[in-house]
Structure 1
Amino acid sequence: MPVILAMPDFDLATRSASGFLLRWIAPRVEPAHLFAGLARRKPFQLLAPQSDIIIGTGHGDVDVFTGQNEVVILEVGQYDPREIEGKIIKLLSCQTAEYLGPDLVKNGCVAFLGYTDDYVWVVDADLASRPWADDMAATSLMPVVDGLNALLDGKTAREAFEIELQGYLRNAEVEEDELIKAVLEFNRDNAILLGDEGAKVRARPTLALPFKLVPPPPLFPQRT
Structure 2
Amino acid sequence: MSRILLITRPKYDETTHYLFNWSQEIIELARKKSIQVLDLAKKRANRKELTSIISKKQPSFIFFNGHGSDDSISGEDGNVLIKIGKNEKLLKSKIIYALSCKSARKLGPQSIKTGAVAYLGYSDDFVFLYTPEKLSKPLNDELAALFLKPSNQLVRSLLKENSINDSFNRAKALFIKNIQGLLTSESSPYNYALPYLMWDLRHLTCLGDNESSF
| TM-score, normalization by structure 2 | 0.89
SS in 1 for 2:97: strand
Match of 2:68 among 60, 66, 72: 60
Mapped to 1, the partners of 2:8 and 2:84 lie a distance apart of: 18
Residue matched to 2:199:
186
- Deviation of 1:27 (Å): 1.4
Q: Structure 1: state its 5+ residue gaps.
A: 202-224
Amino acid of the residue matched to residue 26 of structure 2? Answer: I
Is 1:73 the equivalent of 2:75? no
Residue matched to 2:38:
32
Mapped to 2, the partners of 1:180 and 1:42 lie a distance apart of: 38
Mapped to 2, the partners of 1:172 and 1:17 lie a distance apart of: 21
Mapped to 2, the partners of 1:19 and 1:164 lie a distance apart of: 19
Mapped to 2, the partners of 1:80 and 1:57 lie a distance apart of: 16
SS in 2 for 1:3: strand
1:48–1:54 CA contact under 8 A, matched in 2: no
Is 1:95 the equivalent of 2:102? yes
**Alpha-carbon deviations, 1:90-117, whole Å to 9, x = none?**
0000000111111111111110000011
**Alpha-carbon deviations, 1:26-61, whole Å to 9, x = none?**
113323101111111111101124100000111111
Amino acid of the residue matched to residue 163 of structure 2? Answer: T
Task: Give 1:66-215 correspondences, 5 Å limit.
Answer: 66-79=74-87, 81=89, 83-175=90-182, 176=188, 177-201=190-214
| TM-score, normalization by structure 1 | 0.85
1:91–1:114 CA contact under 8 A, matched in 2: yes
Residue matched to 1:19:
21
1:156–1:197 CA contact under 8 A, matched in 2: yes
Amino acid of the residue matched to residue 49 of structure 2? Answer: P
Which one is further off, 150-159 or 120-129? 120-129
1:151–1:157 CA contact under 8 A, matched in 2: yes
SS in 1 for 2:101: coil
Identity %: 26
Mapped to 2, the partners of 1:26 and 1:134 lie a distance apart of: 20
Q: RMSD over aligned Cα, in angstroms?
A: 1.2
Residue matched to 2:8:
6
Which one is further off, 24-33 or 9-18? 24-33
Q: Structure 2: state its 5+ residue gaps.
A: 31-35, 183-187
Residues paired across the two proteins, number: 199
Amino acid of the residue matched to residue 65 of structure 1? Answer: I
1:64–1:74 CA contact under 8 A, matched in 2: yes
Mapped to 1, the partners of 2:118 and 2:62 lie a distance apart of: 11
Amino acid of the residue matched to residue 12 of structure 2? Answer: F
